[in-house]
Structure 1
Amino acid sequence: MAPHRNDPDNASTDWHAQELLLMREVMKLVGRSLAPAFVLREMLHLMSELLGLNRGRMVLADDAVPGAERTASVRHAYGLTAEEAARGVFHWGEGITGRVLASGLPAIVQDVDAEPLFLFRTVARAQLPPQTVAFIALPIEVNGATVGVLACHRIRSRQRHLNDDLALLRILATLAGQLLQLEQLVAEERRQLA
């Protein structure tokens, strides 16, 4: 039976095939364009469409301002309005996203309504489905330093196992870090050539 792309909670969905399709499509994008913005946004799109990992976002470190507290902002997103993405600014250590930035450790919130550290800053609770919503946030690293967070919402009662989502998100966070590192290297090379 063919996978049901539009219904990620359908019990007959072949999750392994969906994962492989997502990875194949992401790697095709990397092969076509090393521009991280394009690849990362499409990665978030595919996470939503194929696996039901919704409102995906990449929160990346802002340029450091001397004397100011470090912040990070939503730079790439799928399923967020422009206003929601603009609200996605976090200080290191603030809320769940800020804690992942500060610690470099993943965070899994099983129920956003029961987690006092969950800020609802980017997406208001009224905009989320009425079911129990989980939030997953993983660090994005470049050269061993946390430079951002890959995060998404997930309906907790999904048929797909949480561990499967975590394993795939770890791979995607690693790939995002590699793309960002490549972008830094290319920018540095251009500066040197100039």
Structure 2
Amino acid sequence: MNEGFIACWFAFMLLILYMTGWKEQVADGVSRRVLAVFLLAVFVLHDLWLPLGNHLILQASLIAAVGAAILSVADCRNAGLVVSMLLSSLFAGMSWTWARLMYRADPVFIGLHPIWDGPLLAGIIGGLLLERFRHQFTLIVFAALMAFVLIPVRAPGGDMVLGSWGWWDAFAIALLAARVTTLLKEFMRGLFHKARRGRFS
């Protein structure tokens, strides 16, 4: 499977759901304008390569993700929530890195797939620890950066590349896992409240 296929496919499916009445479940109320600007920036900037020092290449689309994550943190007026986001990002990034490290140490350590395991683990952590889409987005951006910096993906020439389509595939998997975890958590919470009301009514 070509790199970028998962990210583009997930984005297309989620956009369809977003436009057909699932706005809250998909993006937790994030406006169409914000999503459109972000996706446009990612696709327009992706083919721009920024060499940063020796053997480090940054694809400009990553700037859109990091910029959006920083704006999300700056827009948060609750200092406790900011600390929670950053600590959760650290935990998710460490878990993601651990999953990649285990696979590199011995390919036997595979849950579902070597590409999916780390992002799924980070996404589930994000869905369990944070509620809002924008906060989960921020967590996953920072966690993915941490995982790919600590255990880099090398281009054929030996350069470390950040923001490749492979990075976006992993990001999309993690974000989808976070949203599904949140929806399952809300569903279980609703069942619990219904059972509790039925018990004490």
- Normalising by structure 2, what TM-score? 0.33
Instruction: Report the TM-score when normalising by structure 1.
Output: 0.33
Q: Which has the higher contact order (CA 8 A, sep 6+)?
A: 2
Q: Which has the higher strand share?
A: 1
Task: Determine which structure has more spread, i.e. the larger CA radius of gyration.
Answer: 2
